[in-house]
A = this chain, B = another copy of it.
Amino acid sequence: MRFRLTPRETSFYELFASAADNILRGSQLLMELLGAEPATRVEIADRMRAAEHAGDDVTHAIFHQLNSSFITPFDREDIYRLAGALDDIMDFMEEAVDLVVLYEIDELPKGVERQIEVLGRAAELTAAAMPNLRTMDHLTEYWIEVNRLENQADRIHRKLLAHLFNGTYEAIEVMKLKQIVDVLEEAADAFEAVANTVETIAVKES
């Protein structure tokens, strides 16, 4: 299931598109997790881990290509930041799934499905935007929409925190669930970091 990349023959554009496609797959696995039976969850976590390894391979290919290229299509620091933020998204999504399995969560609190929906929408937009780095088309719309989604994710996250602490849950349960909703919020922040770096690249090119 792992990507086999030959870095020197693959362009930065294709590598960023691979990373984003992989994130899209990850966000679909998060969605599958929502209604899944415990046995299925373990299998989803395995597929998520495979996706995260594939993401690591792409990140490593980008860094290798960056360090061995004399000429790069964008500023080196922007490529570095973009690859790092894409990698972070995948790590946070994988961690969320792993924690659900690890803590044997019976039922996720109402509101988590909205967090995951927002991540799914951000993943679609990111996967659609990466190929546009070549032409710089439609990147402003992408950037604005992901920033809007991050604000929405933030409001959902804060409502979830208020819900977790409203007295319904035992302290130990609050701790487990809080760790999961926090890591999903970190994934939303990482999507925004990707979008902000894309904006930086686009402004420099304009």
A positions within 8 Å CB-CB of B? 63-64, 67-68, 77, 98-99, 102-103, 158, 161-162, 165, 167, 170-172, 174-176, 178, 196, 199-200, 203-204, 206
Additional A-B contact list (5), CB under 8 Å, known A67-B204, A171-B171? A63-B199, A171-B172, A171-B175, A172-B174, A175-B178
Are A103 and B165 closer than 8 Å at their CB atoms? yes
- State the copy count for this chain: 3
Return A134 CB to nearest CB of chain B, in Å: 19
List, in ascending order, chain B residues with CB within 8 A of A99's CB.
161
Alpha-carbon separation in the docked complex, A64 to B206 (Å): 11
List, in ascending order, chain B residues with CB within 8 A of A178's CB.
175
Are B175 and A64 closer than 8 Å at their CB atoms? no
Given A64-B203, A200-B63, A203-B68, the answer on whether A165 and B176 have CB atoms closer than 8 Å is yes
